[in-house]
Amino acid sequence: MGDKQGRVGMGMGKGAEVSEAIKKGGENARSRVATVSLSASTIPHEVYSEFGGAKVLLRPASPGTGLICGKTVRAVVESAGVKDVLSKSLGSKNTSNVAKATLNALLSLRTREQILKARGLEHRLTAIKTA
């Protein structure tokens, strides 16, 4: 689940009936919502992630490209609010592991501002914005 504005979460639930499992999964996802760093309508940089046997590569795309990815990756990046991305899913096709690898990839994204701040170089950030 996600708000399509940079916040996304994933959860799984088990139950005697399908509706009960969906309800539990939704509650679990709402409690695990995390913020994703986005750059306009795409991701700030290329990222590769693995989970189990699933491997996912996400690349930024120019505006208007759309989501070029499989259905599992598309569901995750769409709910995060990404509109333009290129992806390749390698290895296992297990939907649960592909979704978790995609979520891990999105959570490992960092913008230029976040990297400079983490390195203690905020003064360079103003120089970049004025140039």
Round the CA-based radius of gyration of the chain to a whole number and report it: 16
pTM of the entire predicted model: 0.83
Please give the pLDDT value at position 131: 59
In a domain, 75, yes or no: yes
> Which CATH number is 40's domain given?
3.30.230.10
In a domain, 2, yes or no: no
At 127, is the secondary structure helix, strand, or coil?
A: helix
Residue type, 67: L
Q: Classify residue 59 by burial, with Cβ atoms within 10 Å: 0-12, 13-18, 19+.
A: middle
Please give the pLDDT value at position 73: 94
Please give the pLDDT value at position 125: 64
Q: pLDDT per residue over 38-72, tens digit each?
A: 888 899 999 999 999 999 999 999 999 999 999 99
Please give the pLDDT value at position 35: 87
In a domain, 120, yes or no: no
Q: For residue 107, what are the domain limits?
A: 7-114
Q: Which residues of the chain have pLDDT under 50?
A: none
In a domain, 127, yes or no: no
In a domain, 128, yes or no: no
Please give the pLDDT value at position 118: 84
Number of domains making up the chain = 1
In a domain, 125, yes or no: no
In a domain, 104, yes or no: yes
Please give the pLDDT value at position 86: 94
